[in-house]
Chain A
Amino acid sequence: MKFKYLPNVATLELDQSKCNGCGMCLVVCPQEVFSFNEKVSSITDRDACLECGACARNCPQGAIRVRAGVGCAYAVLMDKFNLKGSCCNDSCGCSLEDIADR
């Protein structure tokens, strides 16, 4: 079963003119957001994107942009109130600086 989260929020962008068709984004995406269309990658399920940033980091052409971050309410909350330290009582292990940039 494929879980769906809120529609029309993902910040994912693909510049197809830069794509060389290496297919790395299709490999690394855990949500099957991309598919091949005429040997060029295209975004076919943007709403499934969880903004993990794997595609952008592994695109050798720099054709993909996404505001990568952790979709964790607790971390967002801590960040909002400027509380530093670890979140998620260690079950997730992420820390707050990832929210802003990683």
Chain B
Amino acid sequence: MSRSQKELPMASSDNAAECCPGAVAGEDSYLALEENWLSGQIETAAGPVWRVDTTLNRKDQIDAVKMRLGIGRMSFAVPPGLYAVGNPDDASSVIVSANYKLSFDSLRRELSGLNLWILVLDTGGINVWCAAGKGTFGTAEVVRMVEASNLSEVVSHRTLILPQLAAPGVAAHEVRSQAGFKVIYGPVRAADIPGFLKAGLKAGPEMRRTSFTLAERLVLAPVELVGVVRPLIGVAVILLLLNLIASYFGDGRFLLTSVLGNTVSASLPFVLAVVVGTVLVPALLPYIPGRPLAWKGWLLGVLLAFAYMTVIVPGITLLETAAYYLVLPAITAFLGMNFTGSTTYTSLSGVVKEMGVALPLIIISAGLGLIGLGTAYFV
């Protein structure tokens, strides 16, 4: 899935003709044309280096919204290479970053007023934590980029600051033996970098812990929601067909408005289940009792089914009632289980254990419920 990334060529390097996608080959100013977050170049012992803005402009912000919505996700990568912040010199710190645009933006906007270097790796446009897990933010890539950027000519010291969340992929002692640079793990959050630098490259315990705040949980919801739009449309189409068939066998008259109206109202509980599973479960995560995420989703699904049938459609048949109690919690349980991929605290062993119990129950429950709902159309 990694889009092929060309390195940001230093003006002195011989591969200047190979540049980022869409750029004008051979022109020194090609990058400035493409990347509006750059502001000029500074001279170094290894040639000119591009300087980055520390404020996010309108395009950066629009791009961030699009990324959060899952639109054109893969086209937001920063060309790997060495960048300057402010007016760094050979004694300035070097911070290593992934080339996911959102990660890079959240880093540079915290650096205003500072003078330092950013070494952007080629992580395939993927964030630090996931790239480290995958190994693309790994020892080999750090060593490769240190060499490709001629970093040892630009700075006189031999220290790299890496985000702590890169540690699953990078072995600090191996970077030292292979590239000659000592790795210091900085804070988990970019916002703590100024404090970390001021404290003499020391991170307190609060800088080392991952958090999972309400905002951090909810920012993931739009992408999750967009991800379930397609299955939801599939459900609506099936319900439309069911309503058409039911209408045909019912009174033999095709009343398009009533068929469409029935389809919309029959789709509503599924839409609600999706919203509960992708928005409410993350939002209420710490307050829902129990540890397994499928269980948390299931609990809210039962509440949803209860609310739906007491408030929105009171007086439906026993068969439909039973069917909704089987289907809706199965959907929210599945979506809750899926949220394990977005959390900062779930382990593979735990997920495997949870799924072993939850998945068969979800399949059986959803299957029986759907059979019940289908039957309810014809009895």
Contacts and interface: CB of A to CB of B under 8 A. Distances in A.
B131 to A, nearest CB: 7
Contacts of B343: 3, 71
Contacts of A76: 348, 351-352, 355
Contacts of A38: none
A5 B127 contact: no
Contacts of A57: 167-171
Nearest to B162: A28
Interface in A55-92: 55, 57-58, 60, 67-77, 85-92
A86 B185 CA distance: 29
A58 B347 contact: no
Nearest to B220: A91
> Residue among B205, B208, B347, B350 with the most chain A CB within 10 A?
B347
Interface in A1-59: 1-7, 9-11, 24, 27-32, 48-55, 57-58
B209 A71 contact: no
Contacts of A28: 164, 167, 185
A22 to B, nearest CB: 9
Interface of A: 1-7, 9-11, 24, 27-32, 48-55, 57-58, 60, 67-77, 85-95, 98-99, 102
Contacts of A98: 133-135
Interface string B353-369: 11100010000000000
B232 to A, nearest CB: 14
> Residue among A24, A57, A102 with the most chain B CB within 10 A?
A57
B194 interface: no
Contact of A87 (B132, B188, B285, B341): B341
What bracket does the count of chain B residues touching chain A fall in?
A: 35 or more
5 contacts: A5-B346, A6-B353, A52-B168, A54-B167, A58-B172
B135 A102 contact: yes
Nearest to B213: A1
Contact of A90 (B73, B220, B286, B354): B73
B349 A89 contact: no
Contacts of A1: 212, 286
6 A-B pairs closest in CB distance:
A72-B341, A69-B348, A54-B167, A71-B346, A93-B126, A28-B167
